[in-house]
Amino acid sequence: MNLTEELWKLQDLKYRDFHSRLVPNIPKERMIGVRTPALRALGKKAALLREGQVFLTDTPHFYYDENNLHGALIEYGRYSFETTLTLIGDFLPLIDNWATCDMFIPSVFKKNPAQMLQIIPLWLQSDHPYTVRFGVNCLMRDFLDGQFSPAHFRWLNQIQNTDYYVKMGIAWYYSIALIKQWDEAFPAIRRGLPDPWIQNKSIQKARESYRLTNDQKDLLLQYKIPIQKEKVK
């Protein structure tokens, strides 16, 4: 079974045309146009086959959908934590867009929180924006409940990467933190995040949620930071 050929069999041109607008940095000719449920089903099936293992070594991929399948193969593969970490380490530098970055986080990570809390800070200091965003995603998914620590805010505040998709990922994190860990997250907003844009976007996204009260939303609004746009000379 050739997995790229299998992706072509699942092509949906209308979906490709729609989705290409959501990932503007990927040329349309690099998109096959496979809907996520169909791609995940293929990944789940192929993860247990030799073809899936070979696919993981046949990099870099040309098609956006191939990268998405690569992530699904790692997620559904029955690998040890150590092997999964190696596969992720090889794959992260190849990710070139937010959608591929966000579509997978192996469940084995959640089962090894102590090890992950050693690794995530390294990802957060990467020069590669989607490695940083992946680290933020891991914190957001697995460490905003019982494993939460206010120290994670310091990790995020020390991120030097200013890529738009990194900043948006951090804002999403804080918006969820305000929902799940209000007593810790709101004081961080009240003190002010290092980046005013992230502060304002975090507040915006949190206020869009139905899981905060109107009083909480009104309180957050007081901490939006006015940002003057630079005049065009």
Tens-digit pLDDT profile for residues 63-109? 999 999 999 999 999 899 999 999 999 999 999 999 999 999 898 99
Angstrom distances, CA of residue 143 to CA of 102, 109, 228:
16, 11, 35
pLDDT at 232 over 90: no
Domain check: are 138 and 189 in the same one? yes
- Rounded to 10 deg, the angle between the 196-207 and 164-180 helix axes is 50
Q: What is the C-alpha separation between 202 and 187, in angstroms, rounded?
A: 13
Q: What are the tokens at 120? A: 């995530």
If pLDDT is split at 50, 70 and 90, which confidence band does 233 have? very low
Domain check: are 103 and 153 in the same one? no
If pLDDT is split at 50, 70 and 90, which confidence band does 229 have? low
Domain check: are 82 and 141 in the same one? no
Domain check: are 100 and 120 in the same one? no
Residue at token pair 């959908």: 65
Q: Is residue 84 part of a domain?
A: yes
pLDDT at 59 over 80: yes
Q: Is residue 232 part of a domain?
A: no
- Using alpha carbons, select from 91, 63, 50 the residue that is nearest to residue 7: 63
Give the number of other CB atoms < 10 A from CB of residue 25. 8
Given 85, 109, 133, which residue is the final one in a domain? 109
Strand ranges inside 55-177, DSSP E:
none
Alpha helix (H) residue ranges in 125-181: 129-142, 151-157, 164-180
Q: 42: domain range?
A: 1-109
Domain check: are 151 and 58 in the same one? no
